Structure 1
Amino acid sequence: MPEAVRERGAGRGRRGPVGKFGLAEVYNPSMVPTLRPGDHLVVQYGAAVRPGDVVVVRHPFRQDLLIVKRAVERRDGGWWVRGDNPYVVNDSREFGAVPDELVIARARVRVRSPRGIQRSPLGVVAWALSAVRPLRADRSVSRRLRAR
Structure 2
Amino acid sequence: MPERVQERGPEREQEPAGGGPLRAFGLAEVYNPSMVPTLRPGDQLVVHYGASVRPGDVVVLRHPFRQDLLIVKRAVERRDGGWWVQGDNPYVTNDSREFGVVPDELVIARARLRVRPPRGIQRSPRAALSWVLSAVRPVRADRSLSRRLRAR
What TM-score results when the alignment is normalised by the length of structure 1?
0.92
Q: Which residue of 2 aligns with 1:63?
A: 67
Question: Which of 128, 134, 138 matches 2:142?
Answer: 138
Q: Distance in 2 between matches of 1:75 and 1:103?
A: 14
- Please give the secondary structure, in 1, of the residue aligned with 2:128: helix
CA drift of 1:117 comes to: 6.2
Q: Which residue of 2 aligns with 1:8?
A: 8
How many residue pairs get aligned? The number is: 147
Question: Which of 44, 65, 68 matches 2:48?
Answer: 44
| AA partner of residue 4 (structure 2) | A
Q: Distance in 2 between matches of 1:88 and 1:23?
A: 23
Residue 10 of structure 2 contacts residue 24 of structure 2 at CA under 8 Å; is this kept in 1?
Answer: no
Residue 2 of structure 1 contacts residue 67 of structure 1 at CA under 8 Å; is this kept in 2?
Answer: no
CA deviations 1:22-65 (Å, max 9, x no partner) are 00000000000000000000000010000000000000000000
What is the RMSD computed on CA atoms of the aligned residues? 1.8
Q: Mean alpha-carbon deviation: is it higher for 28-37 or for 7-16?
A: 7-16
Identity %: 80
Residue 80 of structure 1 contacts residue 96 of structure 1 at CA under 8 Å; is this kept in 2?
Answer: yes
Stretches of structure 1 that go unaligned for 5 or more consecutive residues are none
Q: Distance in 2 between matches of 1:79 and 1:117?
A: 41
Stretches of structure 2 that go unaligned for 5 or more consecutive residues are none
Residue 7 of structure 1 contacts residue 24 of structure 1 at CA under 8 Å; is this kept in 2?
Answer: yes
Name whichever structure is richer in helix by fraction: 2
Q: Any residues of structure 2 matched to 1:45-124 within 5 Å, and which? A: 45-116=49-120, 119-124=123-128
| AA partner of residue 46 (structure 2) | V
What TM-score results when the alignment is normalised by the length of structure 2?
0.90
